[in-house]
Amino acid sequence: MSDLKLAKSALISVFSKDGLAPIAKKLHQLGITIYSTGGTEKYIKDLGIEVIPVEDLTSYPSILGGRVKTLHPKVFGGILNRQNNANDVAEMKEFEIPQIDIVIVDLYPFEKTVASGASEEDTIEKIDIGGISLIRAAAKNFKDVLCVSSVDDYTEFLELISQNNGETSLEDRKKFAGKAFNVSSHYDTAIFNFFNSEESVFKLSFQKGKELRYGENPHQKGTFYGEFDAIFDQLHGKELSYNNLLDVDAAVNLIDEFKNDSPTFAILKHNNACGLAQRDTLVEAYNDALAGDPVSAFGGVLISNVKIDKATAEEIHKLFCEVVIAPIYDAEALEILKGKKNRIILVQKEIELPQKQVRSCLNGVLVQDRNSKTDRLEDLKLVTNNKPSENELNDLIFASKICKHTKSNTIVLAKNKQLLASGTGQTSRVDALNQSIVKAKAFNFDLKGAVMASDAFFPFPDCVEIAGNEGITAVIQPGGSIKDQLSIDYCNQNNIAMVITGTRHFKH
């Protein structure tokens, strides 16, 4: 027995009318009876297409300000009846319920309403009841009914009924049912998260997934779930890889610390800054960022907090880099950067970054608030006799911002708002400091007068002693060790200034 079914009737109830006209016209052309209600009914009538009001089917008007329109046995019976079930067929005849073969729904825009900052009352009114019920009913009964649950599926649906003259296969209907349950589950998750105040319950849903070339390594499969286009416009280059996306994420979070500052340029590799500088002009900032580690910069991700101009683009073009990110580009700068076919060029849009961070762990996930705490001058507590100069204070804050976005354990060395070197992801703080000193010297930086930032407290005075021997004159750290005084005493004895913030910045 063929699983092909010829549609004879359709129920249409949509919020957005975009793209509906060609569907309504095709259904009419195919001789398919159309049922509808409210604004959708009026829209179809205005197209000059015959439509039967749902109220005529149910003998009930739309009531309660439109809250109840389609919730009626004559509607849901027409959708949920099993056409191969004798009892269902008999009851359909007894109660004069017409068969409904196609259901087309576009739900109230709940997520957009929440995002708009609407009042709670207005948001609640955008919780769709009838539409979501129609979707679930039609998708459940996919053996007999085809459900179109989103504007995004209109094109595919129109092609399907046009090519097959209104006939659909079981495979087609089951495919659309899967799409429908994706829509309904995502919609319910959004509603739940609007109401959810219990941190013990976690639900997350993404409508779009993009398969990547591979994951972290070529033998691993990778997919990105999210709305990349909401944050960036890609102007040029190849598709971003899994590792590109991780570096881009690290870059945008780091540069956010310098959002309203003087021209600042950062170069990242494996999620850590290998160069960062702040200057009066962007080209100076780029050149001094590159000087921080020109070796690691090869194949890195570059990001600016201001427009990239021609002079800066000319310097960037000399370097092989994977990704360049900026809020805007000069036309001449863009043409220069496009000179490398695969170079990814992104425009970062004005958008608030997510306030929750999620990562897989064991057989579940870990969720935490984004680290939105940035150390500021007013947060600093002087704990030594020697006070930092104004220049040192500015460098301490500068170094602390970088430290916050560097893998733990980390030590960051900076001078005159330039990253000299950092020790990243080390198992001991001493190792992180030694690594940063070796790197700074390798690129001929003079550490005399530099400052040091640490992501966590010093359990012993060994780090400040090593730093002091290299000429470092000021230190910023969270404090909190029971042996803080040992480090403070060493600084006092050696004319090193130390401030504590009271805030740890681990990053794993």
Residues in Cβ contact with 461 at an 8 Å cutoff, skipping those fewer than 6 apart: 483, 486, 487, 489, 490
Of 26, 42, 140, 441, the active-site residue reads 140
280: three-class secondary structure by DSSP: coil
Structure tokens at 287: 């050149």
Find where tokens 């170094």 sit: 399
Structure tokens at 208: 């779009």
When computed from its CA atoms, the radius of gyration of the chain, rounded to whole angstroms, is 31
Q: In what order do the strands lie in the sheet with 300-304?
A: 232-236, 344-348, 321-326, 300-304, 264-269, 272-278
- The whole-angstrom separation of Cα 331 and Cα 309 is 8
Can you say how many angstroms the Cα of residue 104 is from the centroid of all Cα atoms in its chain? 30
Structure tokens at 127: 């919780």
Can you say how many angstroms the Cα of residue 93 is from the centroid of all Cα atoms in its chain? 52
Q: Is there a contact between 147 and 160 (Cβ–Cβ < 8 Å)?
A: no
Phi, psi (5° rounding) for residue 76? -75, -25
Which among 11, 131, 32, 127 has a CA at the least distance from the CA of 75? Answer: 11
270 is catalytic: yes
140 is catalytic: yes
Of 26, 174, 270, 441, the active-site residue reads 270
Residue 91 CB-density burial (10 A; 0-12 exposed, 13-18 middle, 19+ buried): middle
- The whole-angstrom separation of Cα 442 and Cα 436 is 10
Find where tokens 């459940």 sit: 140
Structure tokens at 17: 């009318």
Can you say how many angstroms the Cα of residue 134 is from the centroid of all Cα atoms in its chain? 31
Measured between alpha carbons, how far is residue 504 from residues 254, 382, 478, 500 in Å? 17, 17, 5, 10
Q: Is there a contact between 40 and 24 (Cβ–Cβ < 8 Å)?
A: no
172: three-class secondary structure by DSSP: helix
End-to-end CA distance of the chain: 59
Which among 466, 469, 449, 456 has a CA at the least distance from the CA of 392? Answer: 449
Upstream peptide bond of 409 is cis (omega within 30 degrees of 0):
yes
- The whole-angstrom separation of Cα 75 and Cα 141 is 14
- The whole-angstrom separation of Cα 267 and Cα 251 is 8
| Residues recognised as catalytic | 140, 270
